[in-house]
């Protein structure tokens, strides 16, 4: 018998996630010096990690022989204070990606449906398929989620609705009023997931607490990978009702979040100066990039996140040519947008380097 005959069939058809190209891969493949490569491909923080987070992580390393606190006690206490909720309302994951998978474990069975926009963060679809459920993809309108259309896609089989706001890859957001109205219109058999990976870049992120107080089946997902600059340490979290958080906590692995990451996340939550600077650098860079790309006659999707979409024609070619010049961006073919690139907002210097490289590629 072949090995594949033994395999769960949904694994054989499972698409593979294509991450932003790591600097080391590009350096190896193209014979470039890694130190000279600029990565603007994964919406990471161009300022680096939170300094308070790094100091705490370094201290935590001294106790690397011990298993971490699987319950993330200190981090959940801190998150509870910050969100005005109770610690029992939180589940911490190995990045918010893990929480997406935990939602699949808790809710999805073959034949279930999961409603999501398209294009939206690809992991929703991957998790749905992994559990043998059906992704129901609702096209965005003007690059923005159409919440009425999401509501219309709900059937008796729908289990989950995923809404990223701001959305990756478009950088567009929905308002709190729109989100509240959608959730209040959902039937009782549906769990609503608001993916807030980029919420800290918004002036007024939507407040889910009124919905939780009404007993709605909602969960918000946040991450330390973006504005806190801790993507490498893999810490994200979800918050919802104690019942929902309890279910997600039940299916996670006992030590899913390492102690270095927990310590860094706890400290980064106090790093207000760093977060303020990251927001300011991003806001300035976003304006600068949008204006610079528009002045070159390129179509840009107005973004409220730390990245933007730009239409360059042959996205695959421009991506490869930029990479040869040591600048890594994200080709959008996997998102069904082959003419577009997604570019993370960098520092002023990084944005300038990207624009010069782009000019050289487009001139050639």
Is 168 among the residues that bind ligand PLP (CB under 6 A)?
yes
Pair 12, 118: CB distance under 8 Å: no
CB of 322 to ligand PLP, least distance (A): 20
Q: In this structure, what token pair is assigned to residue 40?
A: 């603007």
**10 Å Cβ neighbour count for 196?**
24
> For residue 314, is the peptide bond before it cis, meaning its omega torsion is within 30 degrees of 0?
no
Q: Which is nearer to ligand PLP, 145 or 325 (CB)?
A: 145
Q: Which is nearer to ligand PLP, 216 or 226 (CB)?
A: 226
CB of 97 to ligand PLP, least distance (A): 3
Instruction: Phi first, then psi: give them for residue 94, nearest 5 degrees.
Output: -75, 75
Binding marks (x or -) toward ligand PLP, 211..240, rule CB under 6 A? Answer: ------------x-x-----x----x----
Q: Which is nearer to ligand PLP, 226 or 325 (CB)?
A: 226
What burial class does residue 179 get, using C-beta atoms within 10 Å of its C-beta: 0-12 exposed, 13-18 middle, 19+ buried? buried
Is 170 among the residues that bind ligand PLP (CB under 6 A)?
no
26/328 Cα distance (integer angstroms) = 8
Nearest C-alpha neighbor of 47 from the set 270, 235, 285: 285
Binding marks (x or -) toward ligand PLP, 177..206, rule CB under 6 A? Answer: ------------------x-x---------
In the chain, at which residue ranges do the beta strands (DSSP E only) sit? 38-39, 90-93, 113-118, 134-139, 158-164, 191-195, 218-223, 236-239, 299-300, 307-311, 327-328, 330-331, 340-344
**Eight-state DSSP code of residue 207:** P
Element (H, E) at 55: helix 51-61
Choice from 43, 170, 262, 303 touching ligand PLP (CB under 6 A): 43
Is 163 among the residues that bind ligand PLP (CB under 6 A)?
no
Binding marks (x or -) toward ligand PLP, 83..112, rule CB under 6 A? Answer: ------------xxx---------------
Q: Which is nearer to ligand PLP, 128 or 223 (CB)?
A: 223
CB of 87 to ligand PLP, least distance (A): 20
CB of 353 to ligand PLP, least distance (A): 22
Residue ranges in contact with ligand PLP by CB under 6 A: 43, 95-97, 121, 164, 168, 195, 197, 223, 225, 231, 236
């Amino acid at each position: 018998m072949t090995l594949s005959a033994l395999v769960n069939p949904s694994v054989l058809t499972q698409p593979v996630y294509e991450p932003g190209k790591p600097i080391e891969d590009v350096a190896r493949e193209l014979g470039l010096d890694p130190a000279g490569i600029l990565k603007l491909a994964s919406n990471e923080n161009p300022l680096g990690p939170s300094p308070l987070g790094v100091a705490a992580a370094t201290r935590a390393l001294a106790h690397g022989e011990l298993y971490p606190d699987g319950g993330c006690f200190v981090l959940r206490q801190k998150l509870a204070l910050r969100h005005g909720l109770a610690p029992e309302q939180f589940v911490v994951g190995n990045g918010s990606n893990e929480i997406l998978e935990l939602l699949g474990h808790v809710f999805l069975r073959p034949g279930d449906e999961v409603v999501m926009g398209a294009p939206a963060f690809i992991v929703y679809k991957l998790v749905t398929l992994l559990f043998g459920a059906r992704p129901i993809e609702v096209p965005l309108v003007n690059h923005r989620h159409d919440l009425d259309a999401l509501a219309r896609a709900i059937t008796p089989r729908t289990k989950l609705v995923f809404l990223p706001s701001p959305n990756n890859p478009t950088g567009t957001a929905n308002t709190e009023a729109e989100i509240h109205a959608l959730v209040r219109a959902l039937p009782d058999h549906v769990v609503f997931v608001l993916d807030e990976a980029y919420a800290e870049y918004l002036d007024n992120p939507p407040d889910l607490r009124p919905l939780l107080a009404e007993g709605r089946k909602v969960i918000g997902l946040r991450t330390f990978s973006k504005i806190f600059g801790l993507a490498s340490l893999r810490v994200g979290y979800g918050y919802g009702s104690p019942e929902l958080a309890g279910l997600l906590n039940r299916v996670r692995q006992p030590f899913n979040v390492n102690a270095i990451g927990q310590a860094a996340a706890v400290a980064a939550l106090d790093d207000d100066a760093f977060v303020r600077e990251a927001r300011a650098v991003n806001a300035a860079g976003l304006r600068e990039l949008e204006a610079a790309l528009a002045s070159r006659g390129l179509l840009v999707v107005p973004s409220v996140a730390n990245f933007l979409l730009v239409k360059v024609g042959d996205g695959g070619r421009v991506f490869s040519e930029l990479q040869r010049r040591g600048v890594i961006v994200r080709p959008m073919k996997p998102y069904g947008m082959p003419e577009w690139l997604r570019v993370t907002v960098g520092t002023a210097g990084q944005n300038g380097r990207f624009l010069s490289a782009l000019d050289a590629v487009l001139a050639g």
